[in-house]
Amino acid sequence: MPPSMVLQPVYQESWALIYGLFGLSGFILGWVAQRGNYCFVNAMTSIFTTRSFERFGALLILFGLSALGCGLLVAFGIIPAVDQYYFNYFAGWYILVGSFVFGFGAALAGGCNLSMLYRAASGYVQNWIELFGMMIGTYIFAIGIWPFQQYTMEKGIFSTTLGGYVEYLPYVIFHSVSPMAVYITTLILSLPLIILGIYLQQYTKKKWNMNFRMSTPGIMAYKPPAPISVGKEGEEKKDWKKEALDMLLLKKPYGTNLSTVILALDMIFVFIVGAGYTFNYLVITSSDGGRFFEYLLMIPGINLFLNTPWFNDSLPIVDPSTLMVVMLCIGAFAASFLSGDFKIRIPKEKKRLLIGFLGGMLVGIGVRMALGCNVGLMWTNFAQLGYDGIIFLFGMLGGVWLAVKVQERL
């Protein structure tokens, strides 16, 4: 007998409180991403440009911590398993192709869906243009690609047709959603990601230190200082306290790993708050961009939902996802404004605006084809113990790699 596919509210909060907590989560996401300059695309491009794995390692840690926290909540019976697999997408060719197109477009435009939003809220005009391009890309997808993609999904052509628990790794591996199956799967998925992420960060630091030693005259003759005295230790502790205080006062940006931990906790927070409701994961930034374009066209009397298939199925304007995106932008704006980072920035090379628009169009096409973006599908799906996020990760890496090669020749 298949697992239950019925959501029941786990906690009996009012809808006002639910929306308030989702809004708080979006604010935290925007604030922390802005203060940590967190960008999935930059983490991947740095692999191919500077051979640095530090930020990519942080991404793997983020995925691992999110999977670990959400998985253990289910394994210990705090949240029902149905809340973890209910919104797992239908896997298929479109996730791989869409994530590749998304990665290529995002790398050209200079940012993923998350960084595009918080940078737009911080005054980057190029990201405003990218957002508009994403809306146009969504429309191109809706009229030119979605009818064909929907047909392949319904017929199961290079795709699954059920979603839900069928895409749930505990069910795929053990054909069960029991607490033990979820517990073992959680450890199998999360721990290697965390360990590999830490290894890649340490590997990058060691490589940089070695390169510095080899490139600095006389460095090999350098002698380490004597052991630190008690007084020095006290000064070091004060420095840590000062650094933490500077972060609180917005004088210093957040470190990559601090941002990673906070963002993972935010994902787990949303998973708990949304348990039993119709929305149990973080932010669908790409859908909201497409819907915003739909609502703009309503002003001159153009109703896409009447004759365009994808918009027929798009979500209503008032829902937790929309609220979270709005609050993400507010949180990013607040962080940039209070820290003195906010400034209207127009790129000196005006061709960057065109590239941003074209990249945004590809982002819009890619995320809609993949049924989600780097946040609403890839990161979220790791927390859902699905495998769609893994497919998206490799497809996005391929698209980013190609974009780097193209940019090298421009």
Q: Which of 112, 94, 95 is nearest to 104 (CA)?
A: 112
pTM score:
0.89
Nearest-angstrom CA–CA distance, 185 and 181: 6
Q: What angle do CA 334, 340, 341 make, to 5 degrees?
A: 80
The confidence score (pLDDT) of residue 108 equals: 92
360 has pLDDT over 50: yes
Q: Which amino acid is at 44?
A: M
Per-chain mean pLDDT for the chain: 86
Q: What is the pLDDT of residues 96-133, one digit of tens each?
A: 999 999 999 999 988 888 898 999 999 999 999 998 99
Nearest-angstrom CA–CA distance, 373 and 352: 23
The confidence score (pLDDT) of residue 165 equals: 87
Query: What are the residue boundaries of the structural domains of the chain, listed by start?
Result: 38-211+234-409
The confidence score (pLDDT) of residue 288 equals: 62
Q: Model confidence at 287, in pLDDT bands (50, 70, 90)?
A: low
Nearest-angstrom CA–CA distance, 96 and 392: 6
The confidence score (pLDDT) of residue 226 equals: 46
The confidence score (pLDDT) of residue 107 equals: 95
321 has pLDDT over 80: no
Partners of 124 in the β-ladder:
345
Q: What is the pLDDT of residues 206-243, one digit of tens each?
A: 887 766 555 555 544 444 444 444 444 444 455 778 88
Q: If residue 247 lies in a helix (H) or strand (E), which one and from where to where?
A: helix 230-248
Q: Regarding predicted confidence, which is higher, 65 or 231?
A: 65
Q: What is the pLDDT of residues 181-196, one digit of tens each?
A: 999 999 999 999 999 9
Chain centre distance of CA 197: 16
- Residues 6 or more apart whose CB falls under 8 angstroms from that of 231 comprise none
Q: Tell the residue number behind the tokens 């209503």, with chain if given.
A: 316
319 has pLDDT over 60: yes
Integer angstrom CA distances of residue 139 from 155, 291, 393? 24, 10, 25
